[in-house]
Chains A and B, each alone.
Chain A
């Protein structure tokens, strides 16, 4: 059994610890102002095909993939960035070329690409996105739809220099 002995040394140590936690708590938000980069998600790169064409729309459309691309640190929107999108849809499986396409972000760092309806695959209705242009570090995302009936899905990138 441990007995807690209250003496001056313990009190000082404990007080110091509390003070340190409190102080770092006050200091941390200032550092958190720097927007952290998005890490790649597990399984995000599955069935990735390098060099998907930039397209107006994937297949016949009907489903919207939207999102933003920002810079780590200051969070500035990144315009003209290429985002590669693929999924298992009503028009093809994940690995098939017709299921892949890319689009560019606008001046606000936003992108939206119409694609066929995403279908649950491997137990979850999900999409895949990649930033793979090289200027920033490559990131693979794998967002999951709340419901298989959803007709849109969004994903957001915060990139750090390569």
Chain B
């Protein structure tokens, strides 16, 4: 019974991240895009998938992973998220420098751009503080006060950014992935609050 549940959860996670990637790989728009632009787009989709994994790891919702290993994986995936965002923004910069410049300066005509840029800065901020956490001597409680609001900004920013874009992602698989990201985050926030009350 237990192993069936384990298999089910991991398969569902693989599908939640894999199906949107596969559907985007089948997009007719790819024919008219250069390799750098394609890479930049997929780095963005991959990053959204990583944003789903993060709360699942911290909440301990993925069976077979101890709390310690879940936390370690969360750190590494946080680093991967930074790399994915850098490839996303860098690739788009190479594809069309003026459009990327507008986005970064919050002067873009596209409504989704500021959401993505805000989420980007929140990701960079969390990653920087996480890397310096020991040197700064941050206590667990202080760290949580910094990280939790920024995590909410990352999730909300990424979901709105993704949903407003008309690009290679297929609408249904994109909406499903975004809904799962929101659900995982809300569940984690509720559980963290409950745990803190019990403590």
A residues whose Cβ falls under 8 Å from a Cβ of B? 41-47, 88-90, 93-95, 119-125, 142, 144, 148
Contact between chains at A122 and B110 (CB < 8 Å): yes
A95→B113 CA distance, assembly (Å): 20
* Prevailing SS type, chain A contact patch: loop
Contact between chains at A123 and B166 (CB < 8 Å): yes
Judge whether B170 is part of the interface by a CB distance below 8 angstroms: no
Cβ contacts B74-96/A at 8 Å (1 or 0 each): 00000000000000000010011
Contact between chains at A123 and B96 (CB < 8 Å): no
Contact between chains at B96 and A42 (CB < 8 Å): no
**Residues in A neighbouring B32, C-beta threshold 8 A:** 88-90, 119
A93→B102 CA distance, assembly (Å): 18
- Other-chain contact of A43, B95, B109, B167 (Cβ < 8 Å): B109
**Residues in A neighbouring B65, C-beta threshold 8 A:** none
Contact between chains at B110 and A123 (CB < 8 Å): yes
- Other-chain contact of B99, A41, A46, A90 (Cβ < 8 Å): A46
Cβ contacts B105-119/A at 8 Å (1 or 0 each): 001111011000000
Known: A43-B109, A46-B102, A124-B166. A94 touches B96 (CB 8 A): yes
Quote the shortest CB–CB distance from A140 to chain B (angstroms).
11
Quote the shortest CB–CB distance from B91 to chain A (angstroms).
12
Chain B interface residue count: which class?
10 to 19
A123: nearest residue on chain B (CB-CB)? B165
B residues whose Cβ falls under 8 Å from a Cβ of A? 29, 32, 34, 92, 95-96, 98-99, 102, 107-110, 112-113, 164-167
Quote the shortest CB–CB distance from A112 to chain B (angstroms).
24
A106→B112 CA distance, assembly (Å): 38
A106→B32 CA distance, assembly (Å): 33
**Residues in B neighbouring A45, C-beta threshold 8 A:** 98
A93→B166 CA distance, assembly (Å): 17
* Listed residue (A44, A90, A93) with the most chain B CB atoms within 10 angstroms of its CB: A93
**Residues in B neighbouring A46, C-beta threshold 8 A:** 96, 98-99, 102
Contact between chains at B167 and A47 (CB < 8 Å): no
- Other-chain contact of A42, B29, B109, B164 (Cβ < 8 Å): B109
- A43-B99, A43-B102, A120-B29 known; 5 new pairs, CB 8 Å cut-off, are A46-B102, A90-B32, A93-B95, A123-B166, A125-B166
B102: nearest residue on chain A (CB-CB)? A43
A125→B110 CA distance, assembly (Å): 11
Known: A119-B32, A120-B29, A123-B164. A142 touches B109 (CB 8 A): yes
Contact between chains at B112 and A42 (CB < 8 Å): no
Contact between chains at B109 and A121 (CB < 8 Å): no
A46: nearest residue on chain B (CB-CB)? B98
A88→B96 CA distance, assembly (Å): 11
A83→B44 CA distance, assembly (Å): 36
**Residues in B neighbouring A123, C-beta threshold 8 A:** 110, 112-113, 164-167
**Residues in A neighbouring B113, C-beta threshold 8 A:** 123
* Interchain residue pairs with CB less than 8 A apart (13): A42-B102, A43-B107, A43-B108, A94-B96, A95-B96, A120-B166, A120-B167, A121-B96, A122-B92, A122-B99, A123-B110, A124-B166, A142-B109
